[in-house]
Structure 1
Amino acid sequence: MSHQIRRGVSLYSFQNDTFLRHMTLEDCVRTCAEIGALGIEVVGEQSFTGWPEVGMPTAEVARWHALMERYGTTPVCHDFMLDYKRVKGQVMPFAEQVASVKKDIDFGAALGMRFIRSLVSVAPEVLVACAGYAEDKGITILLEVHAPLHFDHPWIIRHAEAYEQSGSQALGFLPDMGMFVHRFPRVWKERFVRNGVPRHIADYIEQAYQDRVLSEYVLLDVQQMGGTGPAIAMAETLRHNAAFEPKRMLDFMHRIHNIHGKFYEMTEDDVEYSIPYDEIVAVLKQGGYQGYICSEYEGNRWIEDAHPVQSVEQVKRQHRMLCRLLDEPIPAALQA
């Protein structure tokens, strides 16, 4: 292979299975190992009891390391949640925000992670203030670039400028592939129809997205078509999602160290219905990206009202696709 792109999974992909207790943490890790997705990303609150309220879950951290050794997997990233508005209308003081991020740096280091994921809403000044502490712990803080933001958004540019001015290599980006929704996901459309959107309005919104019509115009048109409630909500998705260009990652590649492989629906042909992964992987190869693409399945919330959520099957389909795009042999567990 002429690249250093590796396959991983965010255990967030299995949120339905873990919430319903259909899968344990070990089940999740074993599943990833079986399909050759050896990089493991976690959301601490999902996988570790009581984190962060109860402090460091020492016994569970020890068990985590035992699982990593048992299955030959690699800790990649801890996705932390800075609740900087703890009370409605009251922003957490700057010093408390910094202290909270440092607590997650400690947790990521305890798990053996190289990276921790910051929500895109966190101010650059907070992350810059934590950079030295992160360096000492061997951690790089990655801001998740998540729709509706993108690499040309002023907030992301502000972060990029702050990182460069800091001179620290402990600050970077984690692009979420949900920035590149080039076709309106059909699982979204069908959920909105089940929620009461008239089919002709749903068809119009889908086509408007395909035609890249300005979202404000779509909202006005839907209202004039008599759309209310769910129809307005469906039109509002056009404000949050857009078909940005994967090639914009190239100018930021020196600070991109992990990828969220967001997907909503993998078809039976192992293709993501709405996100052009062939273009995305080509850009990552062109930019010399070195790191993991970690699956992040979020189609569950769009189908769970009407269909069984098959998270494992969906993740397997994505990794068959990634094997093809990354020129990797398909593991036996993915051939079934």
Structure 2
Amino acid sequence: MSQNHQIKRGVSLYSFQNDTFLRTMTLEDCIRTCAEIGAKGIEVVGEQTFTGWPEVGMPMAEVAHWHALMEKYGTYPVCHDFMLDYKRVKGRLLSFDEQVASVKKDIDFGAALGAPYIRALVSIAPEVLVACASYAEDKGIKILIEIHAPLHFDHPWIIRHAEAYEKSGSKALGFLPDMGMFVHRFPRVWKERFVRNGVPQHIADYIEKAYEDRVLSEYVLLDVREMGGTGPSLAMAETLRHNAAFEPKRMLDFMPRIHNIHGKFYEMTEDDVEYSIPYDEIVAVLKAGGFKGHICSEYEGNRWIEDAHPVESVEQVKRQHRMLCRLLDEPMPAALQAQAR
């Protein structure tokens, strides 16, 4: 197979959150799994993987272990996903200077891990990130704001970020689109969970159809109330406020500052297709735009099934990478071929 792109496969270890929380997978298990499926780029959430970070400071022994695993399995760091808790200090909002200092601390951590990128939460003001840009440049780090539903590339908050980045002139500021922006079909695992939570079938069917028809969420909420829906039914309808089928082509105008992709997915079917997110369209746009970074798997279907079904994170990630191999015209590693259909 020939490749006419520079898109690479990776995995966010957030995909294995159930496994690491329940201690059925160690960090080494996660890294080995990624290596076996040929997803050499590793994205990590510091709070998930490193004990006590950031409250206890730099966990040097664990950082050394991280580098040892990278070398052992031939993997490499892509991104450190950091948080900024505005109310971390005794319930009060952090000052501007405190926010800047917090981000710089995560820049240092990303550099210690060897990651070229750190993921910033979309709630962080652009002025904070601009103030950190030169520090990031000195550390060889790019700060990427995550574009996460319900926000999108035409949202005023994201436009404000884009304008601030251009005005700064810094190449250390960019974007990390989350593919949850492109939920073109109401996820089946969501609907099934809401029904188990008590949503009447006819209301669940109506909400699913309303999403398919792109009905305004406020109208759907009104209709659900008139149908007698309460509690879980309203919660299901509320998902329409926070998710939408935005257009993948909107990434093209921002491609020079897009350096990493969160390959969000909720359910990979047995046919190795994401049920609700059109990855064929997405990958085509990334190819057309000359994207040169990683698509890092981010499995979030676990929280929708764990009440009733085993969470098979590894199998779900494998299915996504079989799909990505196909879409990226990439030879399939033996660990994926064994289960390919």
Q: Structure 1 residues 289 and 195, CA, compared in 2 at 3 Å: closer, same or farther? A: same
- For normalisation by structure 2, the TM-score amounts to 0.98
Paired residue type of 2:214: R
The whole-number CA distance in structure 1 between the counterparts of 2:69 and 2:88 is 34
The 1-side partners of 2:88 and 2:214 are apart by 37
Report the alpha carbon displacement of residue 91 of structure 1 after superposing the two structures with TM: 1.7
CA distance in structure 1 between the aligned counterparts of 2:33 and 2:287, rounded to whole angstroms = 27
* Root-mean-square deviation (Å): 0.8
> What is the one-letter code of the residue matched to 2:222?
L
Structure-2 separation of matches of 1:166 and 1:109: 22
Q: 1:296 aligns with which of 298, 301, 324?
A: 298
Q: What residue number does 2:280 align with?
A: 278
Alignment length (residue pairs):
336
Supply the distance in 2 between the matched residues of 1:59 and 1:37 (Cα, whole angstroms): 25
- Tell me which residue corresponds to 2:190: 188
Q: C-alpha displacement at 1:182, in angstroms?
A: 0.1
Deviation by residue 1:258-297 (Cα, 9 ceiling, x = unmatched): 0000000000000000000000000000000000000000
Q: Give the secondary-structure state (helix, strand or coil) at the position aligned to 1:120.
A: coil
Q: Secondary structure at the match of 1:27?
A: helix
2:113 aligned residue: 111
Q: What's the counterpart of residue 177 of structure 2?
A: 175
The alpha carbon displacement at 1:85 in A equals 2.5
1:89 CA drift (Å): 6.9
Q: CA–CA distance in 2 between the matches of 1:40 and 1:89?
A: 34
1:322 is matched with 324
Q: Distance in 2 between matches of 1:89 and 1:17?
A: 31
Matched, 1:234 2:236: yes
Give 1:92-111 correspondences, 5 Å limit.
Answer: 92-111=94-113
Distance in 2 of aligned mates of 1:225 and 1:267:
32
Choose which of 3, 14, 17 in structure 2 pairs with 1:15: 17
Aligned to 1:76: 78
CA drift at 1:90: 3.0
2:64 pairs with 1:62: yes
Give the Cα separation in 2 of the matches to 1:9 and 1:135.
25
* 1:88 CA displacement: 8.4
Q: Distance in 2 between matches of 1:91 and 1:153?
A: 25
Looking at structure 2, the residues matched to 89 and 60 of structure 1 have their Cα atoms a distance apart, in angstroms, of: 30
Q: After TM superposition, where is structure 1 displaced by more than 4 Å over at least 4 residues in a row? A: none
- Counterparts of 2:286 and 2:331, CA distance in 1: 19
Are 1:143 and 2:145 an aligned pair?
yes
Q: Percent identity?
A: 88
CA distance in 1, matches of 2:188, 2:274: 11
Unaligned runs of 5+ in 2: none
Structure 1: which 5+ residue stretches go unaligned? none
Aligned residue identity for 1:330: M
